[in-house]
Amino acid sequence: MMARMVDYRELFERAADAILVTDAQGRYIDANPAACELTGYPREELLRMSVGDLSPKSDRAYAKKRFDRLHETGQTRADRVLHRKDGSPITVEAHAMALGDGSFQTTLRDVSDRVAAQTQLQRSLQAYSTLVDLCHAAVISADAAGLIQSWNPAATELFGYTTDEIIGQDTAILIPERLRRLHRERFELHNQPSRSAAFARTLYAEGRRKDGSEFPVEVSVAVGWRDGERLFTAVIRDVTEHREVVERLNDALQRLQFHVERMPLAYIVWDTEFRVVEWNPAAERLFGFSKAEAEGRHAYDLVVPPDIVSVIDTIWADLLAGDTSSHSINSNVRKDGSRLSCEWFNTPLRDSTGRVRGVASMAMDVSMREMLESRVRDAQKLESLGILAGGIAHDFNSSLMVILGNATLLRSTKGLPPKTLEHIELIEEAGSRADELIKHLLAYARTGRHNPQPTDVNATILEALRFVRSSLGRIHILNVELAAKLPTVRADRSQLEQIVLNLCMNAKEAMPGGGSITLETRESTLTETQAARCVPYDVKPGSYVELLVRDTGCGMDRATLSRMFDPFFTTKADGHGLGMAAVLGILRQHNAAALVESKLGAKTTIRVFFPVYRTTADPQM
């Protein structure tokens, strides 16, 4: 007997659960170490306490009632909240039982973590239920037999069944009859015990509403467990509009691909790094590179020659910045190294956020067109200048002979005042210069010959200004700003004078009510970008002597600007349209160029560039 008591005491002391022993009146008469650790009270203090002292004040009366019930039943079990000595609450599972000698034993186990987990689970379930109810997609769950267990409001809206109508029904009711067999086979396949639970598998199928109508659906299925059995949860969306959009996009894509593959223009898509993404058969024929050779290559390693890289850099930067009207004619290179001139139409490609994600380009070979256009222009200008030369030679020479003949007769008259003789000399000098200009014009119109010599541009301009000033009149002001120490150019002095005279007269006619004309010279560097805008178009970048003529007139619109160098084109009722055509012919003979800047209602600036003349002894050569 004593041995059994020793064993019981040892078990009592070593028990992991808290054990409290009370007498019939509810006073604690024993407590094991685990009880002291759980409550925070030393054993001596616990033995001075009674049932209910560990309970919150609001629960002590109920604790005594539970103790009275223990007297009646001999055993109770419940979850209770106790207060430790430090006042902190603790949830315990309390199991009380009568020991038979009038005393009672209560075993306490800390279940705070379990209660907290249960509370969190309950909150999660409530949140999940709320989320499912608010979800715009149908959310349905079914058990292992395929019977529907849950049904949210969106499912009612999608299929037409109320919750009361659908719960307990087979999921096959939501499938068109022709597809139910396949649905059952797939369901049974995923319901096999050996089958691992797949999470969020998405598939496309056909759904059937309560009214019998069918529609395409997207179904995402997750497989879980409930009470040891599989539970299938599906999120279902109506994709009717999505399918229609996809089909339209697919049709449009097929039509576009058909046109791209068969279009005569080279079609190229570049990424933002300027590398080829798409390359159609026309691009293969134009540049000689196959699609496999071109894809991934940078434009500068493929079709852009080094000498126009700076020009293309500017165009490319504008495209990446969103320029939707990019159009240019550029020199390009084929796989075999040969050059060609291509006309390019480019547009940026944007993603859904509006950000540029690439560039689409179409290109066509215009080398032959440009050559033919150049030949036609040259032929027209030569023909026009020939007509000009013939007309002037016949009419003006006759008039000039009368003027010079009468000047000679006047000179032979005796007793003329000195002032009169000075005027006669001016007439003869002007007549001689006019005769020289006509001879040069006739030579240019017929054979293109002229007499270029190393020329001081400033000195030639000063000579020409004698005639310019007398032709302008009082209402036109001429401002002359000549740069010092200009490089020498190789030019025909009389033709250079003719350019100055024609440009100043053209400026005068743009200001019928008067205004100012500014004439400047300076040394200048012609860039590739400027050269691309000059006429003639084949001028090369480099060092030039620049002659600038600016007026304060009415300016020109685009149509006038594009034709201002055309022979016989004029905006004046009494004009012949030969002055600017003659200027262009002279520029070609001198390898010079003109850059015109003007717009309607504003001043016009004409910049003429003469190449710097360098001898073989020049160290810069």
Last residue within a domain, chosen from 190, 208, 242: 242
Please name the amino acid found at residue 393: A
Lowest pLDDT segment from 20-29, 488-497, 543-552, 567-576: 567-576
Do 233 and 286 fall into the same domain?
no
**Token pair recorded at residue 173:** 């009711």
273: in domain: yes
| Contact (CB, 8 A) for 219 and 187 | no
Place of tokens 């079990």: 77
* Residue 200 confidence (pLDDT) above 50: yes
What integer pLDDT is reported at residue 529 of this predicted model?
84
Q: Beta strands of 111-182 (E only): which ranges?
A: 138-143, 148-151
pLDDT band at 358 (very low <50, low <70, confident <90, very high): very high
Do 593 and 490 fall into the same domain?
yes
457: in domain: yes
377: in domain: no
Do 486 and 439 fall into the same domain?
no
pLDDT band at 407 (very low <50, low <70, confident <90, very high): confident
374: in domain: no
Cβ neighbourhood burial of 4 (10 Å; 0-12, 13-18, 19+): exposed
Better pLDDT: 59 or 484? 484
Do 472 and 578 fall into the same domain?
yes
Please name the amino acid found at residue 77: R
Do 428 and 558 fall into the same domain?
no
Q: From the centroid of its chain, how far is CA 459? A: 55
What integer pLDDT is reported at residue 5 of this predicted model?
53
Query: What percent of the chain has a predicted confidence (pLDDT) above 70?
Result: 84
Number of domains into which the chain is organized: 5
Do 198 and 311 fall into the same domain?
no
Q: How many alpha carbons fall within 13 Å on the CB side of residue 620?
A: 7
Across the range 138-154, mean pLDDT stands at 85
Q: What is the distance between the alpha carbons of residues 508 and 581, in angstroms, rounded to a whole number?
A: 17
294: in domain: yes
Q: Is the dihedral of CA 439, 441, 445, 451 positive or negative?
A: positive
Do 77 and 220 fall into the same domain?
no
**Range(s) of the domain holding residue 426:** 390-449
Do 462 and 588 fall into the same domain?
yes
Mean pLDDT of the chain: 82
123: in domain: no
Pairing state of beta strands 229-238 and 604-611?
unpaired
**Token pair recorded at residue 313:** 């850099």
| Contact (CB, 8 A) for 361 and 346 | yes
What integer pLDDT is reported at residue 446 of this predicted model?
43
Across the range 327-351, mean pLDDT stands at 92
* Residue 619 confidence (pLDDT) above 70: no
Do 359 and 414 fall into the same domain?
no
Across the range 221-237, mean pLDDT stands at 78
130: in domain: no
Better pLDDT: 295 or 466? 295
Q: Beta strands of 381-471 (E only): which ranges?
A: 453-455
CATH number of the domain that 579 lies in? 3.30.565.10
Query: What percent of the chain has a predicted confidence (pLDDT) above 90?
Result: 24
260: in domain: no
Q: What is the DSSP letter of 225?
A: E
Do 478 and 600 fall into the same domain?
yes
Across the range 230-257, mean pLDDT stands at 82
Q: Residue 481's beta-bridge partner residues?
A: 520
What integer pLDDT is reported at residue 607 of this predicted model?
94
Do 474 and 598 fall into the same domain?
yes
CATH number of the domain that 71 lies in? 3.30.450.20
Last residue within a domain, chosen from 242, 276, 294: 242
Do 402 and 328 fall into the same domain?
no
Lowest pLDDT segment from 104-118, 182-196, 238-252: 182-196
* Residue 285 confidence (pLDDT) above 90: yes
What integer pLDDT is reported at residue 621 of this predicted model?
37
| Contact (CB, 8 A) for 612 and 518 | no
Q: What is the pTM for the complete model shown? A: 0.38
**In 180-231, alpha helices (H):** 180-190
Prior bond of 536 cis (ω within 30°): yes
| Greatest CA separation for the chain | 178
